[in-house]
Amino acid sequence: MTSTAPQTLQGKDADEQPPGRQHRLRRFGYAPRPVTGLRERLVPPYTRPSARLWPVFGIGPAAADGLLRVAAWAGPLLVAFVAGLLRFWNLGKPKAVIFDETYYAKDAWALINQGYEGSWPKDIDKSILRDPSSVPIPTDPGYVVHPPVGKWVIGLGEQLFGFTPFGWRFMVAVLGTLSVLMLCRIGRRLFRSTFLGCLAGTLLTFDGLHFVMSRTALLDQVLMFFVLAAFGCLLIDRDWARRRLAAALPTDEDGVLRPDATVAETLRLGWRPWRLAAGLMLGLAAGTKWNGLYVMVAFGLLTVLWDVGARRTAGAVQPYKAVLKKDVLPAFVSTVPVAIVTYIATWTGWIVTDKGYFRDWAQKDGQGGNWTWLPDWLRSLWHYETEVYQFHVNLTSGHTYQSNPWSWIVLGRPVSYYYEDPKAGTGGCPADAADKCASEVLALGTPLLWWAACFAICYILWRWLFRRDWRAGAIACGIAAGWVPWFFYQERTIFLFYAVVFVPFLCLAVAMMIGAILGPPGSDERRRAIGAIGAGVLVLLIIWNFIYFWPLYTGTTIPLDDWRNRMWLDTWV
């Protein structure tokens, strides 16, 4: 005997069927996640403001489209303009050789004039500030421990504006301003939102460490610029490759894009110029400071994993095998050899002269052995590099402002680049001051931004590990590439300002967290309003915090009590 219950149930009208699980959950506010098409997953569209926004301002649909197109560049340019005004304001002050400018400003001047760094007298800085034209460039070669790219950049500013504080800081300020523009555009492409991209650039504009490094002739800001440029190139390459995959996939009779395992696993993506550009930028990064090599490895892995994700989305059954066969070798050739050739080319000034340090090592001390078939200049350069490496790994002498990389993210020990304590009535100190004044340039990130970034790092790691959000993974990769390598050299003398390399990625992390605070797409007006208030308060507090510490970023003379009030942690003194 068979039961008729199932047959009876099947015979009921659709209206009489029991409500489904999603239907029942709607009574409790559940809304099903919208289904995203394959084309949108491969090449996500840029977000657009709610259609209800434009009528409020009397803007029609056509004008709104034009406004959005203009905003894609106008917004980033406006943010970069503000950043440039801040960074170039009174750039020549303090009129002093501050911190390691004593090395790089002079090395850059020698490099730009004679192709190699000279051995400068120890007490020459005051003479340079007083009358740079009276100071001869030393012809004896100097032993330097960093590649030449950053010094070429600094030297270009000196060539344009002279051997003065403004001259040797000019090009670093240019790159600092351009990095803000780049971050706006990178954030826009990463988040598919002009607003969040400009927000990331705004955060970078008002970060104290980036600001101070943009106004100081050190190498780390130049390194940061090339690292960020390489990331931007790889991000563009990612979109380019995914568009190529989308164009090759079949569509059904309704014009809907469909996955195809054969296409996804066999398509060759061909010429990828943006990946070559990334290799060039990574070569220039390594040619500025050697920690650019770690970034090259991290970004190389990142771009290959992006290809894996693209082929999997397109329908590849074995995406890792497909990438190994089709993408790994082209990715390697597009980046590593290009970077190596670029790095060697940056030593051209040293190669073409016969006076650079260790330039004649191969002819004098390097005769014999198994490598004599190589050009003498290449063997001399290799010897120089090995000597420099030994210097770096054995640099363990103590320094007042050295810090452990664990403390960087909470700004445990910032570096004082410049400090003077003028008496009342001198050096900008008011005559009626009860005590001395203080004038300091402190390489300190904007505290509220960095402490917010501690939470933002946790947020992006959660998004990456548990939501498989590739954007969070990309940001985490940028932070790790600039930060993690220093944990392997904790006995070495290292400083907080090295962290400027990953500051743009911290700003991206905070921008992504603020985007979550604003609410996901489709949130109701109440949720949006609460999120906007919370996000707005956080951003305004960060900007206020930057303004509050402005005197410590610019060397402005302030009463000693005001200076003490800004020493929030004992380790900042």
Residues composing the chain: 573
More confident residue, 233 or 399: 233
Per-residue tokens: 20: 């489904």
Q: In which order are the strands placed within the sheet that holds 415-420?
A: 415-420, 437-443, 558-559
| Closest CA relative to residue 278, chosen from 290, 286, 289, 270 | 286
Q: Is 455 exposed, middle or buried (0-12, 13-18, 19+ CB in 10 A)?
A: exposed
- DSSP characters over 156-194: HHHHHH-SSHHHHHHHHHHHHHHHHHHHHHHHHHHHT-H
pLDDT digits (tens, 9 = 90+) for 433-471: 888 899 999 999 999 999 999 999 999 999 999 999 999
Helix, strand, or coil (residue 232)? helix
> How many whole angstroms separate alpha carbon 169 and alpha carbon 158?
8
Query: In the predicted model, is pLDDT for residue 12 greater than 60?
Result: no
Query: Could you tell me the pTM of the whole model?
Result: 0.91
In this model, does residue 241 exceed pLDDT 90?
A: yes
The tens digit of pLDDT for each residue in 58-115 reads 677 777 777 888 899 999 999 999 999 999 999 999 999 999 999 999 999 999 999 9
Instruction: Note the pLDDT of residue 3.
Output: 46
Q: Which long-range contacts (CB under 8 A, 24 or more apart) does 294-298 make?
A: 294/481, 294/484, 294/485, 295/227, 295/230, 295/481, 295/482, 295/501, 296/335, 296/336, 296/339, 297/481, 298/477, 298/480, 298/481
Residue at token pair 């402002």:
401
Structure tokens at 243: 């568009």
| Average pLDDT score over the chain | 89
Question: pLDDT over 70 for what percent of the chain?
Answer: 92
Show the tokens assigned to 158: 């000196």
CA-wise closest residue to 460 among 486, 485, 482, 479: 479
pLDDT in tens, 374-417: 888 888 888 888 888 888 777 777 789 999 999 999 999 999 99
Q: In this predicted structure, what is the pLDDT of residue 271?
A: 85
- Tell me what the mean pLDDT of segment 544-556 comes to: 97
Residues 346/78, Cβ–Cβ less than 8 Å: no
Nearest Cα residue to 381 out of 360, 401, 367: 360
Amino acid, res. 214: S
Beta-carbon neighbour count of residue 19 at 10 Å? 10
Q: What is the pLDDT of residues 198-227, one digit of tens each?
A: 999 999 999 999 999 999 999 999 999 999
pLDDT on residue 372: 77
In this prediction, residue 425 has a pLDDT band, given cuts at 50, 70 and 90, of confident
- For residue 134 the two structure tokens come to 């009276």
With b meaning 16 or more CB within 10 Å and e meaning fewer, what string describes 536-551? eebbeebbebbeebeb
Cα–Cα distance measured from residue 125 to residue 123, given in angstroms and rounded to the nearest whole number: 6
pLDDT value at residue 1: 41
What are the pLDDT digits (tens) for 256-312? 889 999 999 999 988 899 999 999 999 999 999 999 999 999 999 999 999 999 999
* Distance from C-alpha of 179 to C-alpha of 173, rounded to nearest angstrom: 10
